[in-house]
Amino acid sequence: MWRSIASNALTLFIVILVVAAGVLAWGRETYKGPGPLAEAICFRVERGASLSAVSRSLEEQGAISDARIFRIGADYSDKAAGLKFGSYLLSPGSSMVEVLDALTAGGQSTCGREVNFRIGVNAADVVLRQLDPTTNRYEEVVKFDPATEAVPAAYLDVAEEPDLRYRVTLAEGVTSWQVVEALKRADFLSGEVAAVPPEGSLAPDSYEVEKGSDRAGLIARMTEAQTAVLAELWAARVEGLPYDTPEEALIMASIVEKETGIADERPQVASVFVNRLDRGMRLQTDPTVIYGITNGEGVLGRGLRQSELRRETPYNTYVIDGLPPTPVANPGRLSIEAALNPATTNFVFFVADGTGGHAFAETLEQHNENVARWREIEAQQGQEGSTGVQGE
């Protein structure tokens, strides 16, 4: 009898072990295997939220199949206390392991809303965007110019969201004065900028910032970035350039930046000005003349007058020899690279060609033919009410 009881007990124990092993295997597979999400979602972790509350919310939104297994896995991997506040993009089929990793990795949120304060040559604007998790693309919610428009209600409604992300984007070709003036209107920044940074010293780029970040600190980041880019590209420059210092190369890069917005053209435009300097010709470029009039404080908003082209200023390259004394804008990396590695050409002239680009020429005769063609296009555009004539 006792032998029978012992045998039955042993059998039961073995069955329990087998079942337990099966449960553990199922739990491990459930934890590490593909999850139930059919479409990507943005999942928000509230500040101070507990693992229990987060796991229930994940299960309710269909991101995980079992909240208890998620909690056990988090405990077992020592990540139970590592949840990071924010909004996170969870991809279709994400396993519980991948979901937990996303919610505990820290750093910037990967989903939700973002404010992009864009500083352009003609204006600055604020764009509120929201990530569409199904396409993984940002969709514009609202856009406004803080200098001329009232703040929209849609922006005010989300301005206090604690996980709202911010960035400041500088367009290529903006002036340092434009940057400082625009940053004054960025309501999510703090502090003052004591002085306008030297022209050309700020790197056009997109900068992630936190709400309340110091404006002067952001300017310092932009300056450090431009210094690093210039040093890197100066070290890789071609030989025989007609300028001796990085500062002179930055001046040339700013002229290239203002003369063309087409990336592929920049080495050719740079070659024109390098060839002119090599031949002792004046640069004769309108952006420098305009800078001498505006000092970089806004845009001219009209064409240049003949009297302005004849007026002698340190920036009038129709009158002075060589480079102007400072850059005329903040050039981007591609323009700096073009100034330090220009195309090898014999071009010394260029004029707009009606497509947004330019027609280049080696001789004055060729250039005059290109100018005549541009004048015909200009006249046709004028008849159609078009504007936006580019200088030669």
> What torsion do the CA atoms of 310, 311, 315, 320 make, to the nearest 10 degrees?
60
- Assess whether 216 and 285 both reside in one domain: no
User: Residue 141's domain spans which residues?
Assistant: 113-230
- Assess whether 276 and 336 both reside in one domain: yes
Structural domain tally of the chain? 3
**Quick one: how far is CA 155 from the chain centroid?**
21
Q: To which H or E segment does residue 132 belong?
A: strand 124-132
* Pairing state between β 86-90 and 349-352: unpaired
Domain limit, last residue, from 203, 230, 257: 230
Residue 336 CB contacts under 8 Å (≥ 6 apart), including other chains? 229, 230, 233, 249, 250, 253
Each residue's pLDDT, cut to its tens digit, for the chain (392 residues) gives: 555 555 555 565 565 655 555 555 555 667 777 878 887 777 878 777 888 888 888 888 888 888 888 888 788 778 777 777 777 878 888 888 888 887 787 655 667 788 999 999 999 999 999 878 777 788 888 998 988 888 888 888 888 877 788 999 999 999 999 999 999 999 999 999 999 999 999 999 999 998 999 999 999 999 999 999 999 999 999 999 999 999 999 999 999 999 998 889 999 999 999 999 999 999 999 999 999 999 999 888 888 889 888 898 999 999 999 999 999 999 999 999 999 999 999 999 988 888 888 988 888 988 888 888 888 887 877 644 323 323 34
- Assess whether 199 and 284 both reside in one domain: no
Q: Give one DSSP letter per residue of 153-198, joined into a string.
A: HHHHHHTT-TT-EEEEEEPTT--HHHHHHHHTT-TT-BS---SPPP
User: pTM of this prediction?
Assistant: 0.78
Cβ neighbour number for residue 216 with a 10 Å cutoff = 17
Domain limit, last residue, from 230, 265, 281: 230
Residue 98 domain-assigned (yes or no): yes
Residue 319 CB contacts under 8 Å (≥ 6 apart), including other chains? 282, 310, 311, 312, 313
